[in-house]
Structure 1
Amino acid sequence: MSHSGTADSVRARRRRIGSLLRAARKAAGVTQVEVKGVLACSQSTVTKIENGTTTISAENLGELIDFLDVDQVTAAELRRLNEVNSVSRLRPGRRRAGPAWFGDVPELELRASEIRSWTGERIPGVLQSEQYMLAQFQAAGCANVPDLIAARKDRQRIFDREGRREFLLSESALDRLCATATPLMALDEVQHLLKTGELAGVRIRIVPYGRGLYLEPDFTILGFPDEPDQVYVEYVSGKLLLHKKNDVTEHQRAWAALDGRAATAAESARFLVALRDRLDASLFGKAAR
């Protein structure tokens, strides 16, 4: 599965490179015909580069950066993405801290101006407390637990950036947490959810049992300011990174349906506070606050 994950990552970076180059070309008032003259290639090749369906050499990228007068920040990102893609093509088996199939999802999450995540039976990684992470990785028998925790905590840098981060959790995910985790760990996780939900731009909402007989499988919609939305769906041994318009539209519709069933942010916060107080009382014998 690692080869498929690497391929997904390379394609995602190609699309990002193409999107940045297309935006830079339009900002410069340059046509694809003029670009093909600079690169000494066909116009169809220019189109493929901008659509992210083919690669661009470091030399040609440098020429385009100069020709389009790309700003320093964007130029640095273009060179970094292209360099990483070159390494990926040469070394398809290389690994990061964390599962190889997860690919560039953390990078996409950091770039996204909007994240809409739905999970039905679990607490998503970016909302997990350190205690929860530790128990999860130890239960799975992972050997490199400190590296995995560091990688997951690094994903939580999404909360340091401006933007909308919205999470819909099924009530069953919290029931499963309380039924399987130790009471102390469950309390720590619920407190972590409450604290995260207070951050600017973050909303955590619960979908109660009574709001629907069937709920969609987990998915996350990533929105970007300068390129189309993407969706990622995780499964046992990999992920799907979806960017075709029809796929994205179907998930946007699914989100709208879930959004209509979810409790409000205030109702969800009260639900979590009540759950916290019950756990607190069971552990320490305290009366509900």
Structure 2
Amino acid sequence: MKRMIIAVAATLSIVGGMFHNASAVEKDVKEVEMKRVVYVSPEVTSKVEELKEDMKRQSKVVKTFREKKRDVASEIKLQKSQKDANMQNQLMEERKSPFVDNLQDVWEKQNFAYREIDINAVKKILKEKKISERIKTLEAEKKKLSQNVDMEKQVLSQMKIDLQELNSLDGVVFNPNDVTELSNISVKQMRQILQDTDLQEFAPVYVRIEKELHINAIAICALSALESGWGTSKRAKEDHNYTGFGVYSDEAKGINAASGEENLLMTAKHIRDKYLTKGAVYDNGPSLIGINTMYCVGDTWAYKIADIGYRLMAKLANNNFSVQ
């Protein structure tokens, strides 16, 4: 997956409060780009780059061993060709020369021509033996090089696995086009991005929702930030309604809960069952825009949540960034 480190937040701001209040909608809220963003911590980024360099060096090691193995294989082929050529020459000379049973016959006959032929034969035999030994040595070297190639390839393969793990490690994802894509955010990171807000106490709840109901924690957090004015609205404080659940007008009582945690879990379960389940009554795809069509009046709600989501992601990259 292509990764992008978020360094700045989206430039549009958002007014906290109930999503039903059309007068609170910013003029250019739809200019917010609905795109998938990923934050990778500098530490992980550094490790990824370091591992990539190690992989380059390891690839060169594998290449070097392969080239040595290829050179050895070429020499083996050359040595075998020489051996075959010597054998062919020996056969041809044997056809031209008188037959000699053994070396003793040569010594007994004291014939110079026979002795010369026999000595040449011995030289050829010795040369052939030397070639055979060389081939044997080269075959052993080739085998060892093959083992080295396999071993170094295994090291390289493990590096690739490590790189994949690093790419997913600490990679926090927010995708307004698919809120079922998990953020992978930790409770610690969630507390960090909600620092100095009235929603920080719910950091473990957002992560729990992601793990149990498979809804992106950043998305559900942004939804509650929008609906509750970052946890400061009257409905949030008095009715524990942080999500505008069941609030279809300013006068509506809403579907409230005994606690903020219960409200968040109840809302997330409702969204999962009614909006994100294939074939459900309000199923219109997993995007914020798809949920927007039936979740609330107006068509700017999704963009406002996306804008907050980008702000939360920016906080990961810059702890001094203000999300509100």
TM-score bracket, normalised by the shorter chain, equals: under 0.3
Q: More relative contact order in 1 or in 2 (CA 8 Å, sep 6+)?
A: 2
Give the TM-score of the pair, scaled to structure 1. 0.27
What's the TM-score, normalizing by structure 2? 0.25
Greater percentage in strand: 1
